Amino acid sequence: MDDTLVRILTAAAHGRFPPPDGATTVVGQPNVRDAGVLAFTAHSVVFTDEDPGWVRAVLAATPGDELAATMNPHFLGALLARSGRHMNTIDLLTVADALPGEPEIALREIEDPEHPRVARAMKYRDEVRVWSADGGVVILGRGVAGRWETAIEVAEEARGRGLGERLARAARHLVPDSAVWAQQSPGNARSVRTFQTAGYRPVGAEALFVAG
């Protein structure tokens, strides 16, 4: 499998990004599951096993701003149709450094693979672990190109108390790596604020193509 995306993400986690030259890098998928598009500042990365020549031809024919072509619905729709995949949304991609010690919030690990949150996470990630707190859960697993990703869920009745921020920060203590990634829908301003308050840095936009 192509490990170029792994190297790009590892560098980005440490603040080293592709050059802002307006170019698009086309690389192979890191595995069968993961395909999509990453948009950094003035540089995009398309990771797909589709023909790179075809990808570049569609990009060249995409109307509008060249710098935004990889996130243009025209291009995304063409690539989805060709690959037979679908996508949910274009996410804001963020990353945070791991923190030492134990989380500041009491957590209980959920080990039931049939638990709804565990089962859903396993569709998109490997090595999934889920912890519950009073009013919420925090999820860790290996996502795109093997990176460690987190997601949180806060019950409606527990909102407005800072629980989401504590759960997002807890993932930084729990991750068995130097960094943890998280995606937020840009329209979900509450989630975006929560993760940034918990120390997650915006690095780009991401559109993931889901098989099946």
176 pLDDT band, cuts 50/70/90, is very high
- How large a percentage of the chain has pLDDT more than 70? 99
Average pLDDT value for residue range 175-189: 97
Q: Tell me the per-residue pLDDT of 24-33, one tens digit each, with 9 for 90 and over.
A: 999 999 999 9
Closest alpha carbon to 168 in 199, 147, 190: 199
Phi, psi of 75, rounded to the nearest 5 degrees? -70, -45
**Whether the predicted pLDDT of 15 surpasses 80:** yes
pTM of the model: 0.94
Of the candidates 70, 1, 60, which has an alpha carbon nearest to the alpha carbon of residue 37?
Answer: 70
Q: How many CB atoms lie within 10 A of CB 5?
A: 25
The architecture that CATH gives domain 93-202 is 3-Layer(aba) Sandwich (3.40)
Q: How far is CA 23 from the centre of its chain?
A: 21
For the chain, the average pLDDT equals 94
CB 180 within 8 A of CB 150: yes
pLDDT of residue 212: 76
Put the strands of the sheet holding 136-142 in their side by side order.
23-27, 43-47, 35-40, 201-209, 90-97, 179-184, 148-154, 136-142, 126-133, 108-110
Q: What is the DSSP letter of 64?
A: S
Domain ranges of the chain: 4-92, 93-202
User: Residue 113: which pLDDT band, with cuts at 50, 70 and 90?
Assistant: low
Ramachandran angles phi, psi of 157, nearest 5°: -70, -15
Does residue 118 have a pLDDT over 80? Answer: no
